[in-house]
Structure 1
Amino acid sequence: MITLDDMSLSIEDFNRCIEDIVNTSDNLIDGWRFEQNEELENGKYIIKKEQKVLSQDQEDDINHVLTFEYHIAFNISYGVPVLCFNVWKQDGTMLTVEEFWKLNERFKESNMYDTITQMDHPVLRRPFFTLHPCRTHEIMEPFLEESKNPVVSWLTVVGPFVHLDLNEEYVKMCS
Structure 2
Amino acid sequence: MADGTLCGEDFDRNILEFMQVSDSLKDGWELQRVKNYSQQFCTFLVKRNTLRVLDVDGTTSARRLLEIKHWRMSEDVGNDERRTKEEEDKAGSVIEDVVLNQPDVQTAGVLCRFDYHIVFSSSYSVPTLYFSACHEDGKLLSLDEVWRSVPSHHQERLQNERWSFITQQEHPILGRPFFQLHPCHTADLMKNLLKTNDGTFSASHQNYLVTWLSSVGPVVGLSLPLEFAKLCKGTTPSS
Alignment-derived partner of residue 5 in structure 2: 8
Show the counterpart of 2:52. Answer: 52
Which ranges of structure 2 fall in alignment gaps of 5 or more residues?
65-107, 195-200, 234-239
- C-alpha separation between the residues in 1 aligned to 2:109 and 2:155? 19
Inter-CA distance 163–58: structure 2 relative to 1 (3 Å threshold): farther
Partner of 1:69: 115
TM-score, normalised to structure 2, is 0.66
Specify whether residues 130 and 7 from structure 1 end up closer, same or farther in structure 2 by C-alpha distance, changes over 3 A only.
closer
Higher relative contact order (CA 8 A, sep 6+): 2
Per the alignment, residue 187 of structure 2 pairs with 137
- CA deviation string 1:14-33 (max 9, x = no partner): 01111111121110010000
The 10-residue stretch of structure 1 (67-76 or 108-117) with the greater mean CA deviation from structure 2: 108-117
- Structure 1 spans left out of the alignment, 5+ residues: none
State whether structure 2 residue 183 is matched by structure 1 residue 126.
Answer: no
Secondary structure at 1:68's aligned position in 2? strand
Q: Which moved more, 1:164-173 or 1:96-105?
A: 96-105
Conserved 8 A contact 2:126-2:187: yes
Counterpart code for 1:52: R
Match of 2:213 among 137, 155, 170: 155
Describe the SS at the equivalent of 2:175: coil
CA 1:7 to 1:53, structure 2 compared with 1: closer, same or farther past 3 Å? closer
Q: CA offset at residue 37 of structure 1? A: 1.9
Structure 1 equivalent of residue 40 of structure 2: 40
Tell me the SS of whatever aligns to 1:136: helix
CA-CA distance at 1:59 after TM superposition:
5.4
Give CA deviations for 1:31-71 in whole Å, capped at 9, x if unaligned.
00011124336x11000021112234595434221111000
- Structure holding more helix per residue: 2
Shift in CA distance, 7/159, structure 1 to aligned 2, threshold 3 Å: closer
> CA-atom RMSD, angstroms?
2.1
Q: Residue type matched to 1:29 in 2?
A: K
Code of the residue aligned with 1:48 in structure 2: it is K
User: 2:82 matched to which residue of 1?
Assistant: none
The TM-score, its normalising length taken from structure 1, stands at: 0.88
- Matched residues in 2 for 1:134 and 1:31: separation? 28
Structure 1: distance between partners of 2:11 and 2:59? 38
> 2:47 is matched by which residue type in structure 1?
K
Q: How far has the Cα of 1:158 moved from its partner?
A: 0.3
* Local SS of the residue matching 1:8: coil
Helix, strand or coil at the partner of 1:78:
coil
Alpha-carbon distance in 2 for matches of 1:103, 1:5: 34
Shift, 1:170, TM fit:
1.0
3-state SS of 2:202 partner: helix
